[in-house]
Structure 1
């Protein structure tokens, strides 16, 4: 029995692989540029934009379940088309599919978004994620679509690295004071994903942290966790940046907290233990 993790060399994919291997599962992980560093994974190269390649790999492996973590911020082919290719191949193989989506599908508002609300994207990445969800729903109504938020981890994770860069003056990084999200730790999210593999839940489900924080606030929490001077944090606003992106996106994860045994920690608690 095989678990196939697509996009396994990324931050979340690597943690899903690590946990699955530790639990004694046979894990095949795909990568686009270079294999990941998790021991015990059968690494396979794969370009999810190539439908035939996706079908051939899944058809050969016949996995019990597929977790799709593959996405790229500026690549519609990987984020949207690739999701459709993975969903089609998983359905043909009769595999359970857990697809990772994002709060980027929402346009932003002061009130929380529930699990089943329709996408209202306002920027290209959100549109690609929304298109991916649509494809997965059409191809495999039994699949799980995990809508998550900013994923944080240790010092090597992209989101924590951005905060450290804004604190230490590396590059031209400033954190938005008006962008609100519900950060989730990569540990909690990976555990939740593997629980959902074993569940019979179908459709979208929010899996995010309970604590709503701005990017600026996240930077201050990282400063405290790593003993850095919070006064050096560079900040800005979405309006001043000229970017078009959602401002407040608050995910209500009540359903996940009821369905799963994994406890979704707030960002303050997670970083205090990092």
Structure 2
């Protein structure tokens, strides 16, 4: 299978390049990659031309920018329009939901409270209308094992005394980047369609996650500054998707063991 990965210079995109057994064609916006194709997903004509040139059998769309509606929402729509029947996996986010005390299941409609969440929700709605057979994969905080994820970098910065703090009332379901990439590739090859939840089974505060990373990296977890922050509890119930997967989505307390 020839696979096109958008946003391949990012954490998840790089992992898809390493994990996949397929012929992978990476696209990038500004950070040039060997063997990659430059692509601005905001340009509908450019997206169409790249997909027609590469002629992929599958597309995993990871490209986004949290502060840019055109990249996150319009870019996803451009990819869906140009896919023209090609198997598409769109990586969405738990940010399509607002905080509440119980987990969200796959069938529940978005209710975002941030601009980024609204952009992802708009992309989901458009993709479901344009390409009903596409997979929408909502995920949560992505953590790596090589220190390159934003959460890992943040731990190092704050442990070194830079300004900032971890929130104790911000709850998410962290997922390991390898688990996520492997699950997305499995979903791509499956007959699953529609909305899926691909996140870790363990809900943690940003502080608890930061402390797990600190312990793994030999840093003092108690030295990390923290504050309650605005309460924001967003959990994804991934049980239905997990039943369809051979890939096991591990809890952070397991994949962050020292």
SS state at 2:256 partner: helix
| Aligned equivalent of 1:247 | 232
TM-score of the pair, normalised by structure 1: 0.91
TM-score of the pair, normalised by structure 2: 0.96
| C-alpha contact (below 8 Å) 1:168/1:232 kept by paired residues | no
Report the Cα distance in structure 1 between the residues aligned to 2:15 and 2:43, rounded to whole angstroms.
25
| Aligned equivalent of 2:93 | 102
Aligned with 1:57 (options 43, 50, 57): 50
Question: Given the alignment of the two structures, is residue 47 of structure 1 paired with residue 40 of structure 2, yes or no?
Answer: yes
| Aligned equivalent of 1:142 | 133
Aligned with 1:260 (options 245, 249, 252): 245
Structure 1 residue 238: Cα displacement: 2.6
Aligned ranges 1:162-173 → 2 under 5 Å: 162-170=154-162, 172-173=163-164
Q: What whole-Å deviation, never above 9, does each CA across 1:198-226 have from its counterpart, x for those lacking one?
A: 01111111011011100010111112111
| C-alpha contact (below 8 Å) 1:116/1:204 kept by paired residues | yes
Count of matched residue pairs: 257
Q: What whole-Å deviation, never above 9, does each CA across 1:47-92 have from its counterpart, x for those lacking one?
A: 00000000011012221000000011101011000000001111x2
SS state at 2:36 partner: strand
Report the Cα distance in structure 1 between the residues aligned to 2:222 and 2:250, rounded to whole angstroms.
26
SS state at 1:238 partner: coil
| Aligned equivalent of 1:151 | 142
Report the Cα distance in structure 2 between the residues aligned to 1:140 and 1:47, rounded to whole angstroms.
21
Aligned ranges 1:1-274 → 2 under 5 Å: 1-20=1-20, 23=21, 25-36=22-33, 42-90=35-83, 92=84, 94-154=85-145, 155-170=147-162, 172-239=163-230, 247-272=232-257
Runs of 4+ in structure 1 off by over 4 angstroms are none
Return 5+ residue gaps in structure 2 as ranges: none
Q: CA RMSD in A?
A: 1.2
Report the Cα distance in structure 2 between the residues aligned to 1:237 and 1:54, rounded to whole angstroms.
43
Report the Cα distance in structure 1 between the residues aligned to 2:74 and 2:8, rounded to whole angstroms.
18
